[in-house]
């Protein structure tokens, strides 16, 4: 069970800031930036090779690097303290061209661009994706008491970083698709949907008694966000995962509408909703097969399969109970799963229960803080 798409983190090539920039007064800033960037590069390289990557190491390295990078960018723009010496052309392997689903295949080359804006954008995007990967790790491994809170915190941080990029797009002519506003908006919609997907996971696992009417609208909101993300992201593996996430949330919405219908005495309609939920989960199995050829044999195909299995068992139990009640007492007609009564066209609007955070705020200049 995972909260969001299992991205492969970007990797980056070696580059020297001390060779690209000069500063008589703050040379040590450039030296320190080189050292921290090397740590970022090494931690990403180790994460790429590991089956269970140490994502917190990547996040810590970026936490140390970003204040130095943003100080350099600010001072270069002012043109007073740090100046260009030679062309600064970092190289990054773009994440949406290489997912963890494809880690065992031939990977694309790193993309080099002569732009410090490229470095800024990729560092922030890498941070956001590292938070996404961390959210999946804590959802799998943390204790029941803490994992929902920790998963939400990791996704919230990812959303804050993406909101920063949304509000401060990279000023790169013919920049990579990974940093285009449409891609950033798509990733943000995906994370927003995932913040609601984990609520659905939790209700199944803990057998929550939360209002079924409210929970159906939470599921519908997640469907809407995943659908928006799918329309904006061009990566095939990401789109396949998003379609699976939509299927899971559609099934969840039908399940909660079934409970709401049964509570109102409409047992036949409830059975119809559960049959529609079962059909939605069946489509998820088809998507699982679609990308199985891209996966190592020991990997979970979509990361949704465990959650879907739990949801399927819950739906089967409810369906058995409602069918028994209908045969014994209610004798109501059961609509077909594709009937107008169950159409998504007449669903209520989605309900947001976890709002997006404020955009991440860049760190203040380390020069102005008198560190150098």
Q: Is residue 50 part of a domain?
A: yes
Look at residue 303 in the predicted model and tell me its pLDDT.
59
* Co-location of 17 and 99 in the same domain: yes
| pLDDT by 10s per residue, the chain, length 372 | 799 999 999 999 999 999 999 988 889 999 999 999 999 999 999 999 998 899 999 999 999 999 999 999 998 887 766 778 889 999 999 998 765 445 445 678 899 999 999 999 999 999 999 999 999 999 988 787 799 999 999 999 999 999 999 999 999 988 899 999 999 999 999 999 999 999 999 999 888 889 999 999 999 999 999 999 999 998 878 999 999 999 999 999 999 999 999 999 999 999 999 999 999 998 776 655 454 444 444 344 445 777 888 899 999 999 999 999 999 999 999 999 999 999 999 999 999 999 999 999 999 988 865 545
- The three state secondary structure string of the chain is CCCCCCECCCEECCCCHHHHEECCCCHHHHHHHHHHHHHHHHHHHHHHHCCCCCHHHHHHHHHHHHHHHHHHHHHHHHCCCCEECCCCCCEEECHHHCEHHHCCCCCCCCEECCCHHHHHHHHHHHHHHHHHHHHHHHHHHCCCCCHHHHHHHHHHHHHHHHHHHHHCCCCCCCCCHHHCHHHHHHHHHHHHHHHHHHHHHHHHHHCCCCCHHHHHHHHHHHHHHHHHHHHHCCCHHHHHHHHHHHHHHHHHHHHHHHHHHHHCCCHHHHHHHHHHHHHHHHHHHHHHHHCHHHCCCCCCCCCCHHHHHHHHHHHHHHHHHHHHHHHHHHCCCCCCCCCHHHCHHHCCCCCCCCCCCCCCCCCCCCCCCCCC
- Distance, in Å, from the CA atom of 317 to the CA atom of 306, rounded to the nearest integer, reads 17
Domain assignment present for residue 131? The answer is yes
Assess whether 43 and 95 both reside in one domain.
yes
pLDDT value of position 288: 55
Q: Does 370 fall in a domain?
A: no
Find the domain containing 354 and state its range. Answer: 196-358
Same domain, 31 and 143: yes
| pLDDT for 131 | 98
* 173 and 202 together in one domain: no
Same domain assignment for residues 48 and 93: yes
Query: Which of 135, 154, 179 is the C-terminal boundary of a domain?
Result: 179
Domain's final residue, options 145, 179, 213: 179
Question: Phi/psi zone of residue 303: left (φ > 0), alpha (ψ -120 to 50 degrees), beta?
Answer: left
- Give ∠ CA 202-359-220 in degrees, rounded to 5: 35
Sheet containing strand 91-93, edge to edge, reads 11-12, 91-93, 111-112
Q: How many angstroms separate the CA atoms of 140 and 148, rounded?
A: 10
Q: What's the pLDDT score for residue 260? A: 97
Q: Is the dihedral of CA 193, 199, 201, 203 positive or negative?
A: negative
Retrieve residue 114's tokens.
């002569």
From 151, 179, 207, give the residue that closes a domain.
179
Is residue 210 in some structural domain? yes
Domain-located, residue 247: yes
CATH number reported for the structural domain that contains residue 25 in this entry: 1.25.40.280
If asked whether residues 164 and 214 sit together in one domain, one would say no
- Half-sphere exposure of residue 144: CA atoms within 13 angstroms, side-chain side: 5
Both 53 and 173 in one domain: the answer is yes
Indicate whether 273 belongs to any domain: yes
In angstroms, the CA 267 to CA 332 distance is 7
The domain tally of the chain equals: 2
Q: What is the pLDDT of residue 293?
A: 42
Q: Are residues 96 and 174 in the same domain?
A: yes
> Do residues 260 and 143 both lie within one domain?
no
Together in a domain, 55 and 167: yes
Specify whether 234 is located in the same domain as 142: no
Whether 42 is covered by a domain: the verdict is yes
Write the CA distances from 1 to 141, 308, 310, 316, 321, integer angstroms.
Answer: 10, 9, 10, 20, 27
Residue 81 lies in a domain: yes
Check whether residue 156 and residue 272 sit in a common domain.
no
What's the pTM?
0.92
């Amino acid at each position: 069970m995972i909260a969001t798409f299992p991205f492969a983190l970007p990797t980056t090539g070696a580059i020297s800031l001390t060779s690209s920039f000069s500063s008589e007064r703050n040379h040590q800033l450039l030296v320190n930036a080189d050292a921290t960037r090397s740590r970022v590069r090494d931690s990403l390289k180790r994460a790429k090779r590991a089956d269970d990557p140490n994502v917190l190491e990547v996040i810590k390295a970026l936490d140390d690097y970003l204040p130095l990078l943003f100080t350099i960018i600010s001072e270069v723009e002012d043109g007073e303290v740090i100046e260009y010496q030679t062309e600064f052309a970092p190289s990054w392997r773009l994440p949406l061209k290489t997912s963890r689903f494809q880690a065992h295949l031939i990977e694309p080359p790193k993309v080099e661009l002569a732009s410090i804006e490229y470095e800024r954008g990729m560092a922030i995007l890498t941070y956001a994706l590292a938070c996404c990967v961390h959210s999946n790790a804590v959802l799998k491994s943390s204790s029941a008491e803490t994992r929902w809170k920790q998963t939400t915190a990791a996704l919230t941080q990812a959303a804050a970083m993406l909101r920063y990029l949304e509000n401060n797009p990279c000023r790169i002519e013919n920049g990579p698709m990974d940093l285009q506003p449409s891609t950033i908006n798509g990733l943000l919609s995906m994370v927003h949907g995932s913040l609601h997907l984990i609520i659905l996971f939790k209700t199944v696992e803990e057998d929550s008694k939360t209002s079924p009417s409210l929970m159906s609208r939470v599921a519908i909101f997640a469907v809407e966000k995943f659908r928006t993300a799918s329309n904006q992201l061009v990566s095939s593996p990401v789109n396949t995962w998003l379609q699976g996430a939509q299927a899971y949330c559609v099934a969840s919405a039908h399940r909660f509408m079934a409970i709401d219908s049964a509570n109102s005495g409409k047992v036949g309609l409830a059975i119809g909703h559960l049959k529609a939920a079962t059909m939605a989960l069946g489509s998820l199995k088809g998507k699982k097969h679609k990308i199985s050829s891209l996966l190592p044999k020991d990997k979970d195909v979509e990361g949704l399969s465990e959650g879907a299995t739990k949801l399927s068992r819950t739906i089967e139990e409810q369906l058995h109970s409602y069918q028994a009640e209908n045969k014994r007492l209610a004798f109501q007609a059961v609509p077909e799963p594709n009937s107008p009564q169950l159409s998504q066209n007449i669903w209520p609007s989605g309900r947001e229960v976890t709002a997006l955070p404020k955009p991440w705020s860049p760190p203040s200049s380390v020069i102005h803080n008198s560190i150098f």
